[in-house]
Structure 1
Amino acid sequence: METIFGNLQGLKSSQLKQLQRLYHQRIPGDRITTPEFSQRLAAISTELNQPVCAYLNRRGQVIRVGVGTPRQTQIPPLELPRYGAERLSGIRCISTHLKPEPPNESALTAMALQRLDALVVMNITGTGFTRRGGGAAGYVKEAYLAHLTPQDSRALMTSLAALKLGETQVQTPNWHISPPLSLDMLAQQDFLDLVEGLEQEFQREFIAQEVDADHDRVLIVGVMTNELTLQRFQDTLLELASLVDTAGGDVLRTVQQKRSRIHPQTVVGEGKVQEVALTAQTLGVNLVVFDRDLSPSQVRNLEAQIGVRVVDRTEVILDIFAQRAQSRAGKLQVELAQLEYMQPRLTGRGRTMSRLGGGIGTRGPGETKLETERRAIGQRISRLQKEVNQLQAHRSRLRQRRQHQEVPSIALVGYTNAGKSTLLNALTNAEVYTADQLFATLDPTTRRLVIPKAETGEHQEILITDTVGFIHELPASLMDAFRATLEEVTEADALLHLVDLSHPAWLSHIRSVREILAQMPVTPGPALVAFNKIDQADSETLALAREEFPLAVFISSSERLGLETLRQRLAQLIQYAVDSQ
């Protein structure tokens, strides 16, 4: 039996049968609709006293019937045919409307979200007589034909704002609304010619705007809650854009919302979800990134309504780590973090994960594919955990050997991209990979550094270790997976906390690093703050940093400024750390 969508409450079985019979109608392929089909839809709508929508494919077959407006009966994004930014969906909507007015914002937005070939809105009115068998008859007073037009999304958002102000007859450059048409005039429209012409225009625009196919086209969504200041919120969004860029994505736009609390199902409100979906469809986005961790159910709900893949900040960071890991230890820790992140999210993979395994001997009672996958991941996590423990033990033995040789050690810590690897190279002539990217370093690198002794001025050797950069709200899974690496921080005699003074959020970075250090199971040794990239900082920032941190060192690793002073201060730091033990 054919499914009827929308609001079916109170409908009689005879009315449902009338709606179901619409599925057996067929429209000529080159016509948008016919007067007969339109009048039949109007008659049913009048009897129900509700709007009715029929969705047809390009062969003229009715594929969906719904009771309600185009917004209420729209096809979920994940059920729409797959199409590119240069094509329409191959589906048109013929809808009835009980008020004499052009298509409203809601209907036009539904058209854009589904990327419909066309939207026909027919205003109907009663005839004053009753049909055979009862029920008021109705006829189409006038009809409007709307379709998308290729344009950038800024004009679309402007048009939405105009519609919200009540300018219902605004001619926008993103969709075209015809003047009122009779059914005969509507039936004379060459539908295939219209669609082919539109898709040729979309194709030309797509080619002109196309970016590297290897890069994700990304829309960022940020939510500002009461506990965040405006500056902190803006810094978070800028940092997320940098993370996406480092991961290889192109950020096309950022959508923001201010809320007193997070929506439990979709993080943002229903209206904002629709705006995100519309923006994603308009810009040809294939990935939406949220600025906070999402639960598995939130990801499922958002993907169902937006129609493209949705990830959170943690998943972006994990992707960067997977790209950056070079050593066996690094790859091991990244895989462990990814699996621990993935395990509770298996249920988001849809119905395929809840079916029983296929093949002889697997049918009937037994493990579902979801349970099998979850068990396999659990076993893999256990194996990786053992290997991480072995790695941890190996690093511990190396540290004990160094301590037995009584070589003092310093760990370089700091926010990601503060310049730690560049400083290590400048101090020790190492050749550690450096780049103006977040998380360029994942694997710790230890080098010997010669510094003067604090008391005698004689030369002494110390070990300095470059560690993975920290970030605001470092995911717990990464903290756990990288504990073998982070132990280099807790086991060092002292810390050199490097700060990028040229970054607008340098004070926030200092707080984030200190918060992460405070969460470590073993309290790290004393720390010296060194402000890096002073050649790129303005005089006001330098003055503020000197006032707030009078004991800090000011350097530029790339320009080799202040390095001699830094060596002397490191000697004093080591002497203080040794005396304190």
Structure 2
Amino acid sequence: MSIETIHGNLKGLKSSQLKQLQRLYHQRQPRDRATTPEFAQRVAAISTDINQPVSAYINRRGQVIRVGVGSPRETQIPPLELPRYGAKRLSGIRCVTTALKSDPPKKPSLTAMVLQRLDVLVTLTLTGQGFQRRGGGATGYVESAYLAHLAPESDPNREQGLYWTVSPPLSLDVVTQQDFLDLVEGLEAEFEREYVAQQVDISHQRVVVVGLMTADLDHQQFADGLAEVTRLVDTAGGEVLQTITQRRSRPHPQTVIGAGKVQEIAIAVQTLGASLVAFDQDLTPAQARNLEQEIGVRVIDRTELILDIFAQRARSRAGKLQVELAQLEYLLPRLVGRGEAMSRLGGGIGTRGPGETKLETERRRIQKRVSRLQQEVNQLQSHRSRMRQQRQKQEVPTIAVVGYTNAGKSTLLNNLTHAEIYAEDQLFATLDPTTRRLNVPCQGEMKTILLTDTVGFIKELPPALIDAFRATLEEVSEADAMLHVVDLSHSAWESQIESVSKILEAMPIMPPESLLVFNKIDQVDSETLSYAKEHFPEAVYISAEKRLGLETLREKMGEMIINA
């Protein structure tokens, strides 16, 4: 692309008019002034001649870097081409634009200023044509000018929900004589103070979470799903700055959400200094690309968020293999159009694990890597199968512990077997399966069993993960019995039972014996506990952390393995 490219609507323009626009690129501006009277009049004259707004973008060195026919909204610099300074800096670019009417700048133009984090927006209103002074000499084409800039948090306009401050109509002389650098440096100092005050932990990635409520969801389902994504972001090491929601009958095919909401998210990203946007549902590769182009930062979906957490949690060679396989299978159809992001390894949520690579040179390599990983996972499956056969020869019954993520499975195993499995109030705190011996009472004597902790399940577990972790999940299908642990303190515990049951039903073999274990009874009210006992009378009610009901659970496990 030529450095003198004219952007925007060029239909109907003469070659002489295009040359006039291109000459604007050669007009150097002073660093300490927003513009000069000569440049402003020239822009206004061209705008009057073509009867359309003209917008010129100037960097802090005084170079004109972009010229467009149209308003700042119609000619704005794409977000991905802008410097990424975040909320503590402005972009270092100012815009001088014209308005055919004598009105203040419109909301779309001011929104474009916010999205681009422009230093200032100078809007020139036109006289309609140049005219002569009484004593002779042209006054020019500019009637008045408005100076707009971003409003810091302390600005009274922010209380009214406005992100900008607009001056009253000023003369061109006042605007061109104002110390531009002094204004910009004062604004950036204020933004820097606000940014530092907002930061809780600079090691956390700053995230905006987006939720879409479609017609097939009720309010509770939507709220639970959104809360789960927020927990996933927290588990992945992110800090949720804001949650933005929209209600639509169905997702928009190109951007999931409406155009106005995309713009709202883009403004939130700029004003909050967010570095990532996380959606509460899966995005198609095209939707993710479109959103990134409009918003200007990385956009990830629920699946990519889960994959990132798994990449952090995997400790064993088997777990790492399976995570990398799942990530590569997810990444392969999303390589097209990833732009500069494909040329480097990333950092932060959604970029851990195998990383991203250039499309032309890496697609075949990724496919080969996927095939190789698939073979290694198959070998892992065979190895685990042999291990299970050895345990079966020794006639040691096995009980698999399953349940929704963060239900308390690892805590239960730790307190029953005195194991030291990592257990935290996080989603997917443990990833690799762990097996421990446990003595349980059975027909008047103590019998040794093997208790296996498995990876936590989650609603709509990504298919790539189900496939990649089939070797892990086979620990469930090959077990003699199963404990289904449920977090009774969670508001959506019933739907979590349903989600786990759906995943288990999809497995080829199910253990003959299954027992529901309601955990965290110390954190629920008597009404919830009574409701659960009424609807699930055969279940066991415990608090793994407080060690309540564990002896009853051991007795139940002994009964389950009598016929194993």
Same fold by TM (over 0.5)? Answer: yes
Q: Give 1:535's aligned residue.
A: 522
Q: Give 1:515's aligned residue.
A: 502
Q: Give 1:169's aligned residue.
A: none
Structure 1 CA distance for aligned equivalents of residues 131 and 37 of structure 2:
20
Contact 1:517/1:524 (CA < 8 Å) preserved in 2? no
Q: Give 2:243's aligned residue.
A: 254
Q: Residue 492 of structure 1: which of 479, 490, 498 is its match?
A: 479
Q: Give 1:412's aligned residue.
A: 401
**What residue identity is the alignment partner of 1:228?**
L
Structure 1 CA distance for aligned equivalents of residues 286 and 470 of structure 2:
29
Q: CA deviation at 1:100?
A: 2.1
Q: Give 1:349's aligned residue.
A: 338
Q: Residue 422 of structure 2: which of 421, 430, 433 is its match?
A: 433
Q: Give 1:171's aligned residue.
A: none
State the SS of the aligned residue for 1:53.
Answer: strand
1:278 aligns with 2:267: yes
Q: CA deviation at 1:473?
A: 0.8
Q: Residue 189 of structure 1: which of 178, 185, 202 is its match?
A: 178
Cα deviation digits, residues 521-544 of structure 1 (max 9, x gap): 333433211100000011121121
277-286 vs 101-110, greater mean Cα deviation:
101-110
Q: Give 2:58's aligned residue.
A: 56
259-268 vs 277-286, greater mean Cα deviation:
259-268
Cα deviation digits, residues 369-417 of structure 1 (max 9, x gap): 5243011111111221111111111111111122222222111000001
Q: Residue 310 of structure 2: which of 307, 316, 321 is its match?
A: 321
Cα deviation digits, residues 463-492 of structure 1 (max 9, x gap): 211100000111111111111100001111
Q: Residue 144 of structure 2: which of 137, 142, 145 is its match?
A: 142
Contact 1:153/1:279 (CA < 8 Å) preserved in 2? no
Residue 281 to residue 84, structure 1, CA distance change in 2 (3 Å) = closer
Q: Give 1:544's aligned residue.
A: 531
Contact 2:476/2:510 (CA < 8 Å) preserved in 1? no
Cα deviation digits, residues 403-449 of structure 1 (max 9, x gap): 22222211100000100011111112222221111111111111222
Q: Residue 572 of structure 1: which of 553, 559, 562 is its match?
A: 559
Q: Give 2:290's aligned residue.
A: 301
Structure 2 CA distance for aligned equivalents of residues 352 and 212 of structure 1:
25
State the SS of the aligned residue for 1:159.
Answer: coil
Q: Give 2:120's aligned residue.
A: 118
Q: Residue 363 of structure 2: which of 351, 374, 396 is its match?
A: 374
**What residue identity is the alignment partner of 1:159?**
G
Residue 155 to residue 510, structure 1, CA distance change in 2 (3 Å) = farther
What root-mean-square deviation, in Å, do the aligned CA atoms of Structure 1 and Structure 2 show? 2.1
Q: Give 2:135's aligned residue.
A: none
117-126 vs 143-152, greater mean Cα deviation:
143-152
Cα deviation digits, residues 314-333 of structure 1 (max 9, x gap): 11111111111111111111
Q: Give 2:440's aligned residue.
A: 451
Structure 2 CA distance for aligned equivalents of residues 338 and 550 of structure 1:
41
Residue 193 to residue 201, structure 1, CA distance change in 2 (3 Å) = same
**What residue identity is the alignment partner of 1:266?**
T
1:402 aligns with 2:391: yes
State the SS of the aligned residue for 1:85.
Answer: helix
**What residue identity is the alignment partner of 2:94?**
R
Q: How many residues align?
A: 543
Contact 1:19/1:65 (CA < 8 Å) preserved in 2? yes
Structure 2 CA distance for aligned equivalents of residues 473 and 514 of structure 1:
12
Residue 206 to residue 558, structure 1, CA distance change in 2 (3 Å) = same
Q: Residue 465 of structure 2: which of 478, 485, 489 is its match?
A: 478
Residue 201 to residue 153, structure 1, CA distance change in 2 (3 Å) = closer
Q: Give 1:360's aligned residue.
A: none
Q: Residue 72 of structure 1: which of 71, 74, 91 is its match?
A: 74
Is there any run of 5+ residues in structure 1 with no aligned partner, and where?
Answer: 131-136, 161-173, 355-367
Q: CA deviation at 1:353?
A: 6.2
Structure 2 CA distance for aligned equivalents of residues 194 and 128 of structure 1:
31
Structure 1 CA distance for aligned equivalents of residues 144 and 218 of structure 2:
52
1:336 aligns with 2:325: yes
**What residue identity is the alignment partner of 1:319?**
D
Residue 82 to residue 193, structure 1, CA distance change in 2 (3 Å) = same
Contact 2:266/2:295 (CA < 8 Å) preserved in 1? yes
Is there any run of 5+ residues in structure 2 with no aligned partner, and where?
Answer: 133-138, 344-356
Residue 545 to residue 158, structure 1, CA distance change in 2 (3 Å) = farther
Contact 1:411/1:492 (CA < 8 Å) preserved in 2? yes
**What residue identity is the alignment partner of 2:535?**
E
Cα deviation digits, residues 4-27 of structure 1 (max 9, x gap): 111112222222122111112122
**What residue identity is the alignment partner of 2:438?**
L
Residue 369 to residue 308, structure 1, CA distance change in 2 (3 Å) = closer
Contact 2:131/2:141 (CA < 8 Å) preserved in 1? no
Q: Give 2:350's aligned residue.
A: none
Q: Identity of aligned pairs, percent?
A: 69
**What residue identity is the alignment partner of 2:372?**
R
**What residue identity is the alignment partner of 1:67?**
V
**What residue identity is the alignment partner of 1:518?**
E
Q: Give 1:560's aligned residue.
A: 547
Q: Give 1:106's aligned residue.
A: 108
Contact 1:6/1:68 (CA < 8 Å) preserved in 2? yes
Q: Give 2:279's aligned residue.
A: 290
State the SS of the aligned residue for 1:443.
Answer: coil
Q: Residue 266 of structure 1: which of 255, 264, 267 is its match?
A: 255
**What residue identity is the alignment partner of 1:323?**
Q
138-147 vs 220-229, greater mean Cα deviation:
138-147
Q: CA deviation at 1:157?
A: 8.3
Structure 1 CA distance for aligned equivalents of residues 159 and 528 of structure 2:
38
Cα deviation digits, residues 113-153 of structure 1 (max 9, x gap): 111010011221324989xxxxxx97222211011132189
Structure 1 CA distance for aligned equivalents of residues 188 and 544 of structure 2:
54
Structure 2 CA distance for aligned equivalents of residues 152 and 112 of structure 1:
16
Q: Residue 85 of structure 2: which of 83, 86, 91 is its match?
A: 83
Structure 2 CA distance for aligned equivalents of residues 62 and 392 of structure 1:
62
**What residue identity is the alignment partner of 1:545?**
A
State the SS of the aligned residue for 2:42.
Answer: helix
260-269 vs 245-254, greater mean Cα deviation:
260-269
Contact 2:86/2:272 (CA < 8 Å) preserved in 1? no
TM-score (normalizing by structure 2): 0.92
Structure 2 CA distance for aligned equivalents of residues 298 and 138 of structure 1:
47
Residue 205 to residue 294, structure 1, CA distance change in 2 (3 Å) = same
Q: CA deviation at 1:203?
A: 2.1
Contact 1:217/1:287 (CA < 8 Å) preserved in 2? yes
